[in-house]
């Protein structure tokens, strides 16, 4: 499969803590373990022309992974529209962490996508809710992250088609942290963890989930639905 990892790539430029954790950028870290899983991977970032998401790149992408935080508003509306059309046309999309506030996620959800948050080095436990789901393969009863940013309910999303993970946070909150959606001919997975100042994407369980989700989000091999004016069954007499 062809996977494109999109990253805003701004924290990495500004914050040495982030750069130390992710010397090749968050996109580089993710691309690394996706590639090892046998996929063809390319990366794209905000400051490239067309944010790195040219028509050629988009048309060649089976599954896209999206990480953004500081600069959601700088993402061009026309590019967002193109990405959305690709999703509705069958491309898989994985939205990570602060991507909950990205234009592409909000546009696919139809809601505000707001939440509670707190940066306090809290322990997070992501409990598996759907043990039969392929996204949970190889994962134990929960994933534990020693320190993460807290995200808490209410999370202003549509009820997910499938609730895969629910997070517990030390400070008293819970969160729907793994959510699947179908949109048009495409599949969307939101996965909560991944604050830039923690080494979350180096965690093996987190990598397993993302690799599983890439496989799950693969486009279905079928012709797309036809819309518009339709002919009736031949056996129905015209009126």
Does position 120 interact with a second copy (CB under 8 A)? The reply is yes
Three-state helix/strand/coil letters over 163-190? EEEEEEECCCCEEEEEEEEEECCEEEEE
Contact status, residue 28 vs residue 21, Cβ threshold 8 Å: no
Task: Give the C-alpha separation, 234 to 216, whole Å.
Answer: 39
Part of the chain binding a second copy (CB under 8 A), chosen from 13-21, 34-42, 72-80, 181-189: 181-189
* Residues within window 182-221 making contact with a second copy, judged by CB under 8 A: 182-187, 219-221
State which residue, 25 or 175, has the beta carbon closest to a second copy.
175
* Residues within window 51-80 making contact with a second copy, judged by CB under 8 A: none
Does position 146 interact with a second copy (CB under 8 A)? The reply is no
Does position 23 interact with a second copy (CB under 8 A)? The reply is no
Part of the chain binding a second copy (CB under 8 A), chosen from 47-55, 57-65, 114-122, 198-206: 114-122
State which residue, 29 or 164, has the beta carbon closest to a second copy.
164
How far apart, in Å, are the Cα atoms of 119 and each of 11, 21, 197, 203? Answer: 16, 17, 10, 19
117's torsion region: left (phi>0), alpha (psi -120 to 50) or beta? beta
Nearest distance in Å: CB 123, a second copy: 8
Number of residues this chain uses to bind a second copy (CB under 8 A): 78
Rg (CA), the chain: 19
């Amino acid at each position: 499969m062809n996977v494109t990892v999109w990253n805003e790539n701004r924290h990495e430029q500004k914050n040495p803590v982030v750069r130390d954790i992710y010397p090749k950028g968050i996109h580089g870290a993710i691309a690394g373990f996706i590639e090892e899983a046998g996929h063809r991977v390319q990366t794209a970032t905000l400051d490239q022309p067309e944010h790195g998401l040219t028509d050629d790149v988009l048309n060649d992408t089976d599954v896209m992974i999206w990480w953004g935080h500081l600069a959601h508003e700088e993402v061009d509306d026309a590019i967002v529209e193109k990405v959305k059309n690709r999703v509705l046309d069958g491309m898989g999309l994985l939205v990570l962490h602060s991507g909950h506030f990205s234009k592409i996620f909000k546009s696919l959800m139809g809601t505000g996508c707001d939440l509670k948050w707190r940066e306090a080095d809290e322990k997070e436990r992501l409990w598996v809710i759907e043990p039969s789901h392929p996204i949970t393969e190889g994962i134990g009863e929960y994933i534990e992250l020693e320190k993460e940013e807290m995200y808490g309910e209410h999370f202003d999303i549509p009820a997910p088609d499938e609730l895969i993970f629910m997070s517990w946070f030390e400070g008293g909150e819970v969160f729907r942290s793994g959510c699947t959606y179908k949109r048009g001919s495409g599949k969307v997975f939101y996965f909560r963890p991944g604050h830039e100042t923690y080494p979350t994407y180096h965690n093996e369980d987190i990598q397993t989930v993302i690799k599983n989700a890439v496989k799950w989000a693969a486009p279905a091999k079928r012709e797309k639905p036809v819309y518009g004016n339709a002919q009736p069954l031949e056996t129905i007499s015209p009126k």
